[in-house]
């Protein structure tokens, strides 16, 4: 006989299988929520997540960043507060597909909720983190189940869905690593200054960017900026700029059918040959082969209209 937790988990998996019947991403009635199904394992590949929450109901995902391993599965969810480039792999089969929910972070909703939390409760100080794998507690699991049930009914999705998304934010912001998440989203101190630079990079990656200009944006000396940037993102400023451009170029080729040369020019490369070398160094394949691989193994949703960051996963 199944325990209450196992019964709830089985119900979530059944709902997700019915909602996400096709491999890849399935859009929902809620613009910030999409569903993911993968029927095959994915070897470690470079990704750049938008800020958001990934909830895996079946299967396993692992992220690798700066010597740390972040596993998110039925017992853990992943929260990303700022976009960081890392490598990711998945465990999945056709008989036991990976089934997950991705919530694109609504910064205004998070900010409003944090103000309300601060007005009603005192919280212990915590260090901001750019990425964290947090335990899936019973209250959050129950909210996820109610959201999946609502998504199965068009009327409930649009009427009840937004409140359930807000409840999920509440569960995350008050959970075991809620303090680290709140501190990250508050964008205070060095984390806030680097966050400001990340927004600038994602808005201006097609232009000429250098460390000195970015350090001025952060109001830091170059050595201090370099150290803080690496501590938060796991990479150097210029490597981050390069990664952002390459991930965006891959999306342009996938979503808009651009040639490698057009995508290279579109993201700020003056030399197509340099673009090809750096693309292969990051993704392990030339542009055409990588795009073909992505189309075979991963379906991408349309880009969000109000997207601030590159999303490549």
Over residues 263-279, the pLDDT tens digits come to 999 999 999 999 999 99
| Whether pLDDT at 154 is above 90 | yes
Average pLDDT of the segment spanning 161-183: 94
- Which of 98-107, 182-191, 196-205, 236-245 is least confident? 182-191
Total count of residues recorded for the chain: 313
Q: What is the mean pLDDT of the chain?
A: 90
CA-CA distance, 40 to 58, in Å (whole number)? 13
Phi/psi at 68 (nearest 5 deg)?
-100, 150
What are the structure tokens assigned to 29, written together? 């009635």
| Whether pLDDT at 93 is above 90 | yes
Can you spell out the DSSP letters for the chain? ---HHHHHHHHHHHHHHHH--SSEEEE-SSTTEEEEEESS-EEEEEEEPPSEEEEEEESEEEEEETTEEEEEBTTEEEEESS--EEEEEEE--SSS-EEEEEEE--HHHHHHHHHHHHHH---------SEEEEE--HHHHHHHHHHHHHHTSHHHHHHTHHHHHHHHHHHHHHSTTHHHHHHHHHT-HHHHHHHHHHHHHHHHTTS---HHHHHHHHTS-HHHHHHHHHHHHSS-HHHHHHHHHHHHHHHHHHHH---HHHHHHHTT-S-HHHHHHHHHHHHSS-HHHHHHHHHHH-PPPPPPTT--S--B-
pLDDT exceeding 70 applies to what percent of the chain?
Answer: 94
The pLDDT of residue 50: 87
The pLDDT of residue 293: 83
Instruction: Locate CATH 1.10.10.60 in the chain.
Output: 189-297
CATH architecture for the domain at 189-297: Orthogonal Bundle (1.10)
Cβ(195)–Cβ(229) below 8 Å: no
The pLDDT of residue 59: 95
The per-residue pLDDT for range 114-127, each reduced to its tens digit, is 999 989 877 778 88
Q: Give the C-alpha distances (Å, rounded to integers) separating 134 from 73, 79, 88, 92, 212.
A: 10, 8, 17, 21, 36
Average pLDDT of the segment spanning 133-158: 96
Q: What does pTM read for this prediction?
A: 0.88
The pLDDT of residue 266: 95
CA-CA distance, 125 to 122, in Å (whole number)? 9
User: Residue 307: pLDDT band by 50, 70, 90 thresholds?
Assistant: low
Instruction: Locate CATH 2.60.120 in the chain.
Output: 4-186
Average pLDDT of the segment spanning 86-90: 93
User: Residue 69: pLDDT band by 50, 70, 90 thresholds?
Assistant: very high
Closest CA to 311 of 61, 38, 32, 113: 32
Closest CA to 195 of 225, 155, 150, 156: 225
Q: In terms of pLDDT, which residue wins out, 294 or 139? A: 139
Average pLDDT of the segment spanning 160-182: 94
CATH architecture for the domain at 4-186: Sandwich (2.60)
The pLDDT of residue 306: 52
């Amino acid at each position: 006989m199944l325990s209450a937790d196992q019964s709830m988990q089985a119900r979530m998996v059944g709902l997700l299988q019915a909602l996400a019947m096709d491999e890849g991403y399935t859009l929902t009635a809620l613009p910030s929520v999409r569903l993911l199904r993968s029927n095959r394992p994915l070897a470690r590949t470079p990704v750049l997540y938008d800020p958001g929450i990934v909830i895996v109901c079946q299967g396993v995902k692992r992220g690798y960043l700066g010597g740390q391993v972040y596993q998110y599965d039925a017992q853990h969810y992943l929260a990303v507060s700022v976009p960081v480039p890392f490598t990711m792999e998945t465990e999945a089969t056709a008989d036991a597909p990976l089934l997950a929910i991705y919530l694109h972070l609504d910064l205004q909703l998070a900010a409003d909720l944090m103000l309300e939390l601060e007005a009603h409760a005192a919280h212990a100080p915590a260090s901001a983190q750019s990425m964290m794998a947090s335990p899936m507690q019973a209250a959050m699991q129950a909210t996820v189940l109610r959201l999946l049930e609502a998504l199965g009914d068009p009327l409930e999705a649009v009427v009840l869905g937004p409140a359930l998304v807000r409840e999920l934010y509440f569960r995350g912001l008050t959970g075991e690593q809620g303090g680290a998440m709140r501190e990250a989203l508050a964008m205070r101190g060095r984390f806030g200054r680097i966050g400001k630079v990340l927004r600038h990079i994602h808005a201006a990656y097609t232009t000429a960017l250098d460390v000195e200009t970015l350090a001025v944006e952060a109001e830091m000396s170059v050595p201090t900026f370099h150290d803080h940037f690496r501590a938060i993102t796991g990479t150097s400023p210029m490597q981050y700029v390069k990664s952002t451009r390459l991930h965006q170029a891959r999306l342009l080729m996938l979503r808009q059918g651009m040639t490698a040369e057009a995508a290279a020019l579109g993201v700020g490369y003056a030399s197509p040959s340099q673009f090809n070398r750096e693309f292969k160094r990051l993704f392990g394949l030339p542009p055409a082969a990588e795009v073909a691989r992505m189309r075979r193994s991963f379906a991408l949703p349309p880009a969000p209209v109000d997207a601030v960051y590159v999303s490549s996963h």
